[in-house]
Amino acid sequence: MKGNIACYIAFCFCHWAGAQTTGGLEQYFYVRKGSALTPVLIAHVQNEKWYGEVRYNYEEIKTFSAYAGKIFSDEQKTHSYSIIPIIGIVTGKFKGYSLGLDVTFTENNFFFCSQSQYTFSSNDHYENFMYSWSELGYEASQWIYAGLALQHLQLFQKEGEPMSYDFGAMIGFKLGKWTIPIYSFSPINNNRYFILGLNLEFGKNNNTHIR
């Protein structure tokens, strides 16, 4: 199965050659009281039909992953959408493979983004997990946006493991090709934490907010 996934990812990357390519580099820091600063690194690239992404420290600490998928999208004057089924391999501290779905929808200055995945462990099926990240926001101007964010995590280490939900607020500042997003999760209790980002888009501005 993992060999087939690797072949599919290679097939997608080959189809970027000769097409107008856009992409970005993203770096996030998880800031929590009493915990070490955790960096998350992400790079993505795409053309009109194909999407690819590599991550570090995303699924697990000291873990690298690579994803590829087919883009289904449409863009009109006042609204647009993008749906990208993705498939990937995961290696490092966590080893396995993952299936996911990225969805983006915009209506005038409002936007909704969602990224969900089910990740399978190659070592123990009790390490499988389901994770999603969603954002709902409004672009007040070309240089600032704000809204709400939600993280959902479902572990399967034991039967009846409860779902975990983290609600938060976000604000982002856009300076040319640079975006600086700031997230605050569980802000009213002692488990609060922050995520600080520094992102760079190259090529056409894809207007993506999600992480």
Per the structure, the count of domains in the chain is: 1
Which of 88-97, 164-173, 196-205 shows the lowest mean pLDDT across its residues? 196-205
CA distance 146 to 35: 27
Residue 192 lies in a domain: yes
Residue 14 lies in a domain: yes
Q: Is 12 helix (H, G, I), strand (E, B) or coil?
A: helix
Residue 207 lies in a domain: no
Mean pLDDT over 120-140 rounds to: 93
Residue 61 lies in a domain: yes
Q: Residue 90 sits in a domain of what CATH number?
A: 2.40.160.40
The answer to whether residue 208 scores a pLDDT higher than 80 is: no
Confidence of residue 173 (pLDDT cuts 50, 70, 90): very high
| CB-count burial class (<10 Å; 0-12, 13-18, 19+) for 100 | buried
pLDDT digits (tens, 9 = 90+) for 177-190: 999 999 999 877 77
> Could you tell me the sign of the dihedral formed by the alpha carbons of 50, 91, 132, 199, in that order?
negative
CA distance 43 to 34: 29
Residue 125 lies in a domain: yes
Residue 208 lies in a domain: no
Residue 150 lies in a domain: yes
Q: What pTM did the predictor assign?
A: 0.84
Q: Domain residues for 67?
A: 2-202
